[in-house]
Structure 1
Amino acid sequence: MLTEIYCDRFRQKTISFHSGLNVVLGDENGTNSIGKSTLLMVVDFVLGGQSLIEHNGDVVSELGEHDYRFSFRFGMETFRFQRGTADSGAVYVCDEGYGIVSVKTIEEYRSFLAAGFGITLEDISFRALLGPYFRVWGRGNDDARFPLHAFKAQPARECVNNLIKTFDLFGTIRDIQVSLAEKEKESGALRNAVATSILPKVGKKEYVKNLVSIDELEQQLDAVKSNLAPYATSIADIVNREMVEQKQRRDGLLETRSRIEASLRRVRRNLESNRHIKSAHFDGLTHYFPEVNKSRLAEVEEFHSEVAKLLRAELCDSERSLSDQLIEVDGHIAEVDSTISEALRSVNEPTAVLDRVVGLSNSLQAAKDQNRFYELGLALKESIAKLKSSLSEEKVRVIERIEESLNDGMRATASAIFGEGRKSPRLTLREAGYTFEVHEDTGTGAAFVALILFDLTMFDETQLPVIAHDSLIFKNIENDSVSKLIRFYAEFGKQSFVAIDEAEKYGPDTAEFLRDRSVVLLSDDALLYDTDWRSKSELS
């Protein structure tokens, strides 16, 4: 527990604390700006908080940078420290005379406090645990409608989660959240891979089409594996499907070539045998037929000579044309022969089979990969949906348990303080929010009573090490109710810190009770610090 705070700017230098209720008591005039709230902020500061720096800037601006020395007793051992406003991120470990021995970071110091107070909660930090229940003016957590909020802008979901953590019931939820985050990360990576074209986009239609392709490709590969020899005999048909057509084309070209060659031979024979009739051929006739008309024979010779010339010219033209056709056909035959030779080389080499198998395997693997990623996406969606459902179910189960415990606890606390029949507040929890209300009583006083009942119940049911309530919380509550409430703080062995004034109005017994448990008496003439700057700004 906190045992003392020393500051050379305090009016009384050292303020000592005790177990149970610690009262910062103001005067009977209810004077403001005397340091009641500020001392609670200093207590928060020595508990590792930052509100004194963040919300009480006038303290530093008026006093300058200054240090606080303080001690805690945990078990039988006392621990002393120093923390200053100039470097609030460092906490100095001190000896008995407050000589500095070593230094801790603020996070190390907070961990030390958590261990010292015996806090075993794994899922919430020391400061997050204290935050909502250290209710001091300026921290923004004094709205009676929102008792789970450590500050006004805190998300309601975070408030509910912190409540679950405070009850040490977050373990299963945490495990589910970790699994959910991993699955959502995987799903996001898969979506990004598709969005950036690293992976193809596969929908249900493509998935079904791939299933058919996979079946066909596997059948083809199985056929190759189970019957390679018969398969190899038809490699030419598989790898060189045009080969049969090329053979048929070659046969046609050879037939055409034969026809051309036959025609060319006939033309050449005709050219060789083409002779016209000369007059000398008829010389023997005049011996047997002296009366023959030699002049007529000469005319016949001249006629045949002209005809022969014409026929020879045509035969020469035919020879040239047929020769050209033969050359062209031979060229086509050479092309076909080259194609067939290339095909035959492919048949004789095993690379064709290998290429075919590799092609089938690649196509099969591509189809399988596409479907695998599609199935992975579906599986991730299903896993995420199940995890979200499990998370929701677990959280509902836990908050129902906490809700019942707190509502029963507040009812019991209200009965213990005010007697049976006193209306108690009701907390209704949801996964991402909550409501807090007192049915049939909407007055401000009832709201602040409900807030105190809630904090005292939390103080009783959890590892919450300290609570603090500023005077503004008590001002709107009926005096009799304050008198009853204030005594209940002292029922706890754990330390609570209350700032209050006008003690006498709560009755002489309560006034005496408050003075007995006070750690400092503040008034218009006895301020917290040795400097009064109220004419410049208010110190609360």
Structure 2
Amino acid sequence: MLDEIICEKFKEKRIKFHDGLNTILGTNTGDNSIGKSSFLLIVDFVFGGNTYAHANDIIKNIGEHEICFSFKFNNESFFFSREVINHHKVWQCNEKYEKQNSMNTEEFCDWLDKQYKIQLPYLTFRNIVSRYIRVYGKDNANEKLPLHSVSNEKMKDACYALLKLFDNYMPIHSLAQQANKSNEELKAYQKAQTFNFISNIGKRDFSKNEKELERLNDELEELAKDVERGFADLDAEISEEAIRIKKLLSRTRRLRSGVKSRLETIKENAEYKFSVTTSDFQNLLAYFPDANVRKIEDIEGFHNKISSVFKEELSLERRKLEKELGDYNNLVNEYEKQLEELIQNPKLSKTVLSRHSELLRQINHLQKENKAYVELSRLKTIKKEDEERLSSVRQKQFAVLANELNTKMKAINQFIYGENYNSPVIDFSENSYSFFTPDDTGTGIAYKGLVVFDLAVLELTKLPIVVHDSIVLKQISDIAIEKILELYDNSGKQVIIALDKQNSYTEKANKILNTKSVLHLAPNGDELFGRSWG
């Protein structure tokens, strides 16, 4: 929690804080320009805000000054200082507020986020607390726009900030990313169509293309069948000649294959050799001493004579077959050449190939157009489905949030007024919200609704602090203020308010205000800075 604020320029140098309600009191006559709102802006300043540093009247009349402050977490104190001119830097200090190390305001706010154990996804510490430090000059005390950090903030951003604070944004985040992705993909595709990189046709042209594609494919198929049937687009003379040559070519190839087979057999037989055994006869006698070697030699000689005659005949047959094979090869080459010249006839290229190419070109063109239409339709469908899913989940999450808030605000309102007064209601629509009290448009009731809303958020979320300036409270009835002060003090968190005319409230309210006072301001030297320039 915030423990103290110190400034050498203050009339009262050190202001100590405590849990629950802390009051900054003015006079019973409601004097202005004594520093109540300025001090609350300093509270915002020590929580990382910048509005105080941009207050020209402060800079002009007080000049450069330093705000020292401390926080206490788990009974341990942490000391800091921050200069008004060089306000982008926060100094870590020792207990005497001697500067040790510096950090930027974002790092400091991250540190506070961890110390307060908030650490909600997609939401910064400043985005949380700044909305609920409602001080004159911050432009966030509009009783009809309690979600807004400033009056011109987009409705959608204000709604999402509250949803994130309740930690109900996670289901929406991934769907929002997907919806954004599908939207960007569609936009990129449509842009490519705008520059004619991709075809762009409508549903009527798509249907027309489908019919034309069917006709063209039928024609292409028929053309192929005609070619298979024998060059249907050639004249009869060319067709008959082509068929005759193909028959001769097939017959000649068969005859050539027969010659090749016989030639291979001749080659195998020519390479056969009879066994030579004469050199081994002496070895044979070693095992068969009674063998008739002479007779064996006669048989060997006979075999050699036969072999010689056989080789001569094979050689003659081989030369004959090789000549016959050469003749067949020449004949096959001639027939193939004649058929090739016939097929390459200009009449065939013009009547068959040209038409075939044109059909393919037309089919390809129409297919590209229809493919582009189908892809565009697919991208549009995906975009629509993603947006519908996002819208459905978003509607459910905000419905849950509204129910939770309205239930709590009703309970708080009943504590303040009993059953006789309507409680404020928040209602969410598509990227917007409305906040009102049914059947009551009075100013006091409107500001009471704003306070009730903040108290509900304070109780239901990790919001660590609420700050209300007198502009928020002074319109509310005295009886309601008494109950509101009780709620502030029993919230279990720090609440800092500024109020004057304390004696005009009930005795109990006056007692709470004075008991919880941390700073009492008045004119004639008892202002925040000891003087007034208003």
Instruction: Please give the TM-score of this superposition, normalised by the length of structure 1.
Output: 0.72
> How far apart are 1:66 and its partner, in Å?
2.0
| Deviation sequence 1:193-244 (CA, Å, 0-9, x none) | 11111112222233234434555666678789x989838x63985xxx9x99
Change (3 A) 1:133 1:218: same
> How far apart are 1:3 and its partner, in Å?
1.1
> Where does residue 294 of structure 2 map in the other structure?
none
8 A Cα contact 1:63 1:531, kept in partner: no
**Distance in structure 2 (CA, Å) of the matches to 1:130 and 1:223:** 77
> Where does residue 241 of structure 2 map in the other structure?
none
> Where does residue 234 of structure 1 map in the other structure?
231
8 A Cα contact 1:236 1:343, kept in partner: no
> Where does residue 175 of structure 1 map in the other structure?
174
**Distance in structure 2 (CA, Å) of the matches to 1:78 and 1:349:** 98
Question: For 1:369-388, what aligned pairs fall within 5 Å after superposition?
Answer: 369-388=368-387
Tell me the SS of whatever aligns to 2:136. Answer: coil
Residue type of the alignment partner of 1:234: F
Change (3 A) 1:236 1:93: farther
After superposition, the CA RMSD in angstroms is 3.2
Flag structure 1 segments of 5+ consecutive residues without an equivalent. Answer: 245-340
Tell me the SS of whatever aligns to 1:81. Answer: strand
**Distance in structure 2 (CA, Å) of the matches to 1:67 and 1:361:** 81
> Where does residue 117 of structure 1 map in the other structure?
116
**Distance in structure 2 (CA, Å) of the matches to 1:125 and 1:349:** 77
Question: For 1:390-429, what aligned pairs fall within 5 Å after superposition?
Answer: 390-429=389-428
8 A Cα contact 1:193 1:199, kept in partner: yes
> How far apart are 1:445 and its partner, in Å?
1.6
Change (3 A) 1:64 1:346: farther
> Where does residue 99 of structure 2 map in the other structure?
100
> How far apart are 1:489 and its partner, in Å?
0.1
Question: For 1:143-222, what aligned pairs fall within 5 Å after superposition?
Answer: 143-212=142-211, 214-215=213-214
8 A Cα contact 1:144 1:450, kept in partner: yes
User: Within the alignment, does 1:497 sit opposite 2:496 as a pair?
Assistant: yes
> How far apart are 1:78 and its partner, in Å?
2.7
| Deviation sequence 1:235-264 (CA, Å, 0-9, x none) | 985xxx9x99xxxxxxxxxxxxxxxxxxxx
Tell me the SS of whatever aligns to 1:419. Answer: helix
**Distance in structure 2 (CA, Å) of the matches to 1:92 and 1:235:** 95
**Distance in structure 1 (CA, Å) of the matches to 2:441 and 2:190:** 51
> Where does residue 297 of structure 1 map in the other structure?
none
> Where does residue 261 of structure 1 map in the other structure?
none
Tell me the SS of whatever aligns to 1:22. Answer: strand
> Where does residue 461 of structure 2 map in the other structure?
462
8 A Cα contact 1:39 1:528, kept in partner: no
Change (3 A) 1:362 1:488: same
8 A Cα contact 1:235 1:353, kept in partner: no
Tell me the SS of whatever aligns to 2:205. Answer: helix
Residue type of the alignment partner of 2:97: Y
Tell me the SS of whatever aligns to 1:15. Answer: strand
Residue type of the alignment partner of 1:71: S
8 A Cα contact 1:10 1:529, kept in partner: yes
Tell me the SS of whatever aligns to 2:178. Answer: helix
Residue type of the alignment partner of 2:15: I
Change (3 A) 1:66 1:363: farther
Tell me the SS of whatever aligns to 2:103. Answer: strand
Question: For 1:53-452, what aligned pairs fall within 5 Å after superposition?
Answer: 53-54=53-54, 56-212=55-211, 214-215=213-214, 230=228, 234=231, 345=344, 364-452=363-451
> How far apart are 1:504 and its partner, in Å?
2.2
> Where does residue 513 of structure 1 map in the other structure?
512
**Distance in structure 2 (CA, Å) of the matches to 1:22 and 1:228:** 99
8 A Cα contact 2:144 2:446, kept in partner: yes
8 A Cα contact 2:226 2:232, kept in partner: no
Residue type of the alignment partner of 2:487: F
> How far apart are 1:466 and its partner, in Å?
1.0
**Distance in structure 1 (CA, Å) of the matches to 2:220 and 2:116:** 71
> How far apart are 1:71 and its partner, in Å?
1.7
Change (3 A) 1:223 1:51: farther
> How far apart are 1:480 and its partner, in Å?
2.3
| Deviation sequence 1:499-533 (CA, Å, 0-9, x none) | 01122222443323222212211111454543524
**Distance in structure 2 (CA, Å) of the matches to 1:411 and 1:116:** 32
Change (3 A) 1:361 1:17: farther
8 A Cα contact 1:145 1:437, kept in partner: yes
Change (3 A) 1:64 1:230: same
> Where does residue 326 of structure 1 map in the other structure?
none
8 A Cα contact 1:67 1:84, kept in partner: yes
8 A Cα contact 1:48 1:127, kept in partner: yes
**Distance in structure 2 (CA, Å) of the matches to 1:130 and 1:530:** 26
Greater Rg over alpha carbons, structure:
1
8 A Cα contact 1:235 1:347, kept in partner: no
**Distance in structure 1 (CA, Å) of the matches to 2:375 and 2:140:** 46
Segment drifting more, 120-129 vs 487-496: 120-129
Residue type of the alignment partner of 1:415: Q
Question: For 1:11-30, what aligned pairs fall within 5 Å after superposition?
Answer: 11-30=11-30
8 A Cα contact 1:34 1:526, kept in partner: no
Change (3 A) 1:443 1:74: same
> How far apart are 1:447 and its partner, in Å?
1.7
8 A Cα contact 1:426 1:438, kept in partner: yes
Instruction: Please give the TM-score of this superposition, normalised by the length of structure 2.
Output: 0.73
8 A Cα contact 2:65 2:84, kept in partner: yes
8 A Cα contact 1:91 1:105, kept in partner: yes
**Distance in structure 2 (CA, Å) of the matches to 1:373 and 1:109:** 53
Tell me the SS of whatever aligns to 1:446. Answer: helix
Residue type of the alignment partner of 1:484: K
Residue type of the alignment partner of 1:509: K
> How far apart are 1:184 and its partner, in Å?
0.9
Change (3 A) 1:342 1:136: farther
**Distance in structure 2 (CA, Å) of the matches to 1:346 and 1:20:** 103
Query: How many residues are paired up?
Result: 432
- Percent sequence identity is 29
Change (3 A) 1:511 1:365: same
Tell me the SS of whatever aligns to 2:420. Answer: coil
